[in-house]
């Protein structure tokens, strides 16, 4: 609802959320769906690397996604990822580019 | 030994507010007695097999299947606005030149502001850039609020975006973020306050908005 109102006034949005069924019903313009516990859309409290990974993915969806109403499923399995390694890999890729 | 099937999940209800059970907790309200029996039996078998085989993936899949079914039933009981297409705006500049604002439905408020009503509160709070963790408060009965009480960035990433601004990943972070409280049974009642926030963002020349829902 909020995302759509902001988009309707002319500002692009991306929404990170856990409740996929609600996303499917509400159809916000751009959604990053995470299979995280409710109340933790960007990750664990204090886990800076995890939060940065999710936020960066959200910003990438903002740049790259051109199909209205698309829900992107992010693959991360809560605590069982090495988020530091994911960030390190990304900065390496960015340097190459 | 006679046990009511609903009693089997009583402790899950007692743990209702804990993040780890936040996806499976809907079993207590959305499953039939037969389903509760099926779930508990399945849980015992899958757990024992997982331990025996030292492989927890089947157990994880089992839990996720039940979470998905029960969460789907919760969504089925909610009311959504009539769909009139998906609104769309395009980014007009690269991210590292964008002025980005944050919006959440996580029920965040700060020192000196009022808490949210327990449900169906359509008001919002303005959260200033640079607000320290010590000034952050949360009121939301729909999830385990200990996360943002400890670190607001897991819901409203004020400090992560400050870092992104300093590192040049984004152009800048807007002076004001907005928090709603998402425990609202009928999303259509949010229309007026959503449009009010949209106008404020527009008036402040915001290029893009990063939102989270809890």
Average pLDDT over chain B reads: 91
Share of chain B above pLDDT 70, in %: 92
In this complex, do A26 and B74 lie within 8 Å of one another by their Cβ atoms?
A: no
Strands B99-104 vs B125-128: parallel, antiparallel or unpaired: unpaired
- Reduce the secondary structure of B32-63 to three states and give it as a string: CHHHHHHHHHHHHHHHHHHHHHCCCHHHHHHH
Average pLDDT rounded to a whole number, residues B126-139: 98
- Cα distance between residue B9 and residue B86, in whole Å: 40
* CA-CA-CA-CA dihedral for B129, B134, B137, B138, to nearest 10: 90
Closest CA to B208 of A17, A23, A29, A91: A29
Interface of B with A in 48-87 (CB under 8 A): 64, 71-72, 74-76, 78, 80-81, 83, 85-87
Average pLDDT rounded to a whole number, residues B54-74: 91
Average pLDDT rounded to a whole number, residues B114-136: 97
Contact B103, B211 (CB under 8 A): yes
**ipTM of predicted complex:** 0.96
In this complex, do A44 and B147 lie within 8 Å of one another by their Cβ atoms?
A: yes
Q: What is the pLDDT of residues A73-87, one digit of tens each?
A: 999 988 889 999 999
Instruction: Indicate whether B200 pLDDT > 90.
Output: yes
Q: What is the pLDDT of residues A7-64, one digit of tens each?
A: 999 999 999 999 998 999 889 999 999 999 999 999 999 999 999 999 999 999 999 9
In this complex, do B19 and A10 lie within 8 Å of one another by their Cβ atoms?
A: no
Instruction: Indicate whether B6 pLDDT > 90.
Output: no
- Cα distance between residue B49 and residue B61, in whole Å: 13
Average pLDDT rounded to a whole number, residues B165-183: 97
- Cα distance between residue A38 and residue B106, in whole Å: 10
- Cα distance between residue B25 and residue B71, in whole Å: 9
Chain A residues lying within 8 Å of B86, measured CB to CB: 4, 27-29, 68-69
Chain A residues lying within 8 Å of B71, measured CB to CB: 19-21
């Amino acid at each position: 609802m909020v995302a759509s109102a902001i988009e309707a006034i002319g500002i692009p949005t991306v929404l990170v959320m856990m409740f996929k069924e609600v996303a499917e019903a509400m159809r916000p313009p751009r959604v990053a769906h995470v299979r995280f516990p409710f109340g933790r859309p960007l990750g664990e409290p204090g886990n800076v690397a995890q939060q940065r990974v999710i936020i960066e993915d959200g910003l990438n969806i903002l740049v790259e996604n051109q199909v209205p109403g698309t829900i992107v499923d992010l693959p991360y399995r809560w605590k069982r990822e090495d988020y530091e390694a994911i960030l390190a890999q990304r900065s390496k890729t960015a340097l190459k580019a | 030994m006679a046990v009511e099937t609903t009693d089997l999940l009583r402790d899950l209800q007692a743990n209702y507010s804990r993040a780890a059970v936040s996806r499976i907790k809907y079993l207590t309200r959305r499953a039939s007695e037969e389903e509760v029996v099926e779930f508990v039996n399945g849980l015992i078998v899958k757990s024992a097999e997982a331990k025996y085989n030292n492989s927890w993936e089947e157990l994880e899949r089992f839990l996720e299947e039940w979470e998905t079914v029960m969460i789907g039933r919760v969504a089925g009981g909610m009311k959504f606005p009539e769909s009139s297409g998906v609104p769309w705006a395009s980014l007009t500049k690269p991210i590292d030149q964008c002025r980005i604002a944050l919006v959440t439905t996580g029920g965040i408020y700060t020192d000196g502001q009022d808490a949210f009503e327990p449900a169906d509160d359509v008001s919002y709070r303005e959260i200033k850039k640079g607000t320290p963790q010590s000034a952050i408060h949360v009121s939301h009965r729909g999830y385990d609020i200990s996360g943002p009480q400890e670190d607001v960035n897991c819901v409203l990433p004020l400090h992560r975006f400050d870092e992104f601004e300093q590192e040049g990943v984004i152009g800048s972070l807007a002076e004001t973020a907005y928090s709603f409280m998402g425990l609202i049974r009928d999303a259509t009642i949010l229309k007026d306050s959503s449009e009010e926030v949209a106008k404020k963002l527009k008036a402040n020349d915001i290029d893009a908005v990063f939102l989270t829902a809890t």
